[in-house]
């Protein structure tokens, strides 16, 4: 028995006023990529950070497609929507700044690492003066890097609290959905960059006295030896090894082979992170350009 014209008309009316049943495939793709990011990890390994950077690349590939869709551009340029576009542009600038801070920290540390490795390779047996000088320069440069990192981290504080403020009921559902998704992508990205910056900074504990530091480092070496040291941050590991090397210069316990090995692992770690960041940075630039084009259209 067929439905009466009245019932059919009522059914169609209900469907026309309901929320979209089938979001655009690119929207679904963005949500799928966002779902890969769970709660923030207190401690991340270099391999896990690399994985998260790869996931961010996939996410921003989809976001780039999203901002180029006609439906997105129409939603953002619609009357009274300019403020959301300006918020997204401000967010894209924050993301680029955080990415640049991480890139600069990695580049600075890599250059110092390579210089120190070169000194170790050229070092004459028993001549530790040049090596000690270069190690102190490395440790000083790390302080400069940390200072820049902590400043960048300060700029990230409070961003997640402003994840999205789309409570205006006058805005249409499509616009709210798109802007919410883009803002969520911003928050997730800044969270990963915050973890990466903390990782690059290495140990952030208050500086202990010389003797307590040596004692702590010797204990750490024994623990690392027993556990394989696989869960150690490569940056913190080199920082500690260099400080220990300086304090043990008067003895015959320093081991340049072990130090060189740690430096090589750090350089490999930096190289991996740099590649991920560079690829991601290019995507972030494209997204910002797309948003600026929408604003100027």
| Higher pLDDT, residue 213 or 199 | 199
Start-to-end CA span in the chain (Å): 53
Burial class (CB in 10 A: 0-12, 13-18, 19+), 211: exposed
| Higher pLDDT, residue 41 or 272 | 272
**Is residue 212 very low, low, confident or very high in pLDDT (cuts 50, 70, 90)?**
very low
Q: Where are the domains of the chain?
A: 51-160+171-206+273-296
pLDDT of residue 81: 67
| Cα–Cα dist 248/145, whole Å | 25
| Cα–Cα dist 222/202, whole Å | 20
Q: Show the CA angle centred on residue 278, arms to residues 276 and 279, nearest 5°.
A: 70
- In 10 A of CB 69, how many CB atoms? 14
What does the pLDDT average to over 3-27? Answer: 53
pLDDT of residue 163: 45
Residue 116 has pLDDT above 80, yes or no: yes
Mean pLDDT lowest among 193-202, 247-256, 267-276: 247-256
Mean pLDDT lowest among 74-83, 85-94, 109-118: 74-83
What does the pLDDT average to over 81-97? Answer: 89
pLDDT of residue 199: 95
Angle between the N-to-C axes of helices 46-67 and 173-201, in degrees from 0 to 180, rounded to the nearest 10: 150
pLDDT of residue 248: 74
Fold of 51-160+171-206+273-296: 1.20.120
Mean pLDDT lowest among 18-27, 53-62, 102-111: 18-27
- CA nearest to 145, candidates 109, 195, 103: 109
What does the pLDDT average to over 64-87? Answer: 83
Residue 203 has pLDDT above 70, yes or no: no
Mean pLDDT lowest among 105-109, 146-150, 152-156: 152-156
């Amino acid at each position: 028995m067929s439905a009466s014209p009245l019932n059919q008309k009522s059914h169609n009316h209900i469907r026309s006023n309901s929320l979209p049943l089938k979001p655009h495939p690119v929207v679904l793709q963005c949500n799928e990529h966002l779902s890969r990011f769970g709660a923030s990890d207190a401690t991340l390994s270099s391999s896990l950070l690399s994985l998260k950077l790869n996931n961010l690349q996939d996410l921003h590939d989809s976001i780039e497609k999203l901002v180029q869709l006609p439906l997105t551009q129409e939603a953002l340029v619609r009357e009274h929507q300019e403020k959301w576009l300006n918020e997204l542009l401000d967010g894209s600038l924050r993301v680029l700044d955080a990415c640049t801070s991480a890139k600069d920290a990695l580049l600075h540390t890599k250059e110092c690492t390579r210089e120190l490795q070169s000194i170790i390779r050229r070092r004459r047996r028993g001549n530790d003066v040049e090596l000690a000088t270069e190690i102190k320069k490395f440790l000083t440069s790390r302080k400069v890097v940390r200072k820049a990192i902590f400043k960048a981290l300060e700029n990230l504080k409070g961003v997640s609290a402003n994840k999205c403020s789309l409570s205006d009921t006058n805005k249409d559902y499509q616009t709210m959905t798109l802007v919410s998704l883009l803002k969520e992508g911003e928050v997730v990205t800044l969270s990963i960059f915050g973890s990466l910056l903390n990782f690059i900074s290495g140990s952030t504990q208050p500086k202990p006295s010389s003797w307590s530091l040596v004692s702590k480092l010797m204990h750490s070496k024994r623990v690392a030896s027993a556990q394989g040291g696989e869960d150690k941050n490569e940056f913190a590991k080199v920082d500690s090894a260099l400080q220990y090397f300086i304090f043990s210069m008067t003895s015959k316990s320093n081991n340049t082979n072990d130090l060189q090995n740690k430096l090589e692992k750090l350089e490999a770690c930096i190289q991996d992170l740099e590649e991920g960041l560079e690829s991601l940075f290019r995507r972030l630039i494209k997204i910002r350009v797309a948003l600026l084009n929408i604003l100027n259209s």
